[in-house]
Homo-oligomer: A and B are copies of this chain.
Amino acid sequence: MTAQPAPARRITRQREAVRDALAASDEFVSAQSLHQSLRAEGSSVGLATVYRALAALAEDGEADALQSGGEVLYRACTPSHHHHLICRRCGRTVELEAAAVERWAGQVAAEHGFVEPEHVVDIFGLCAECAARR
């Protein structure tokens, strides 16, 4: 296998705190702001640790990550593959299933001789509320 030596992940107070904080928000948040939230509610967690915990969650498929405005945002997510519809104003996010898109991506990749296709599919827009508030 190409599997790494399996880092053997441990359960610590800090990691649980990060996981909980992430689960408590239903929108994408940055490592920085998550760190501040934790600090604000008394949890003493180092910034570096928040980064490491988020990276670990993303790697384990427990969180989605996306780059926006020069920083990486995270959000707790369902384990199955999916995409997002995100309000670019308030950050509200809807998870999307899109079998048709999956199929299309795989097919297009194959047509051009590409293998091991992965894809990034996200839709940004203004949610109804934010649009009304104009």
For residue A122, CB closer than 8 A to chain B, the reply is: yes
Point out the residue from B115, B124, B127 that lies within 8 Å of A125, measured CB to CB.
Answer: B115
- Which residues of A in the span 83-105 have a Cβ within 8 Å of any Cβ on B? 85, 87-88, 94, 96, 98, 100-101, 104-105
CB distance from A66 to the nearest CB of B (A): 9
CB distance from A64 to the nearest CB of B (A): 13
Point out the residue from B98, B113, B119 that lies within 8 Å of A124, measured CB to CB.
Answer: B119
- Tell me, in angstroms, the Cα distance from A112 to B85 when the chains sit together: 9
Point out the residue from B67, B88, B109, B125 that lies within 8 Å of A123, measured CB to CB.
Answer: B109
- Which residues of A in the span 25-64 have a Cβ within 8 Å of any Cβ on B? none
Q: How many residues of A contact B (CB 8 A)?
A: 31
Determine whether the beta carbon of A104 is less than 8 Å from that of B114: no
Determine whether the beta carbon of B117 is less than 8 Å from that of A120: no
A-B contact list, 20 entries, CB within 8 Å: A67-B67, A96-B108, A98-B104, A100-B100, A100-B104, A101-B101, A101-B104, A105-B123, A109-B125, A112-B127, A112-B128, A113-B127, A114-B123, A114-B127, A114-B128, A115-B125, A115-B131, A117-B125, A119-B121, A121-B121
Spell out A's residues near B (CB within 8 Å). Answer: 67, 85, 87-88, 94, 96, 98, 100-101, 104-105, 108-109, 112-128, 131
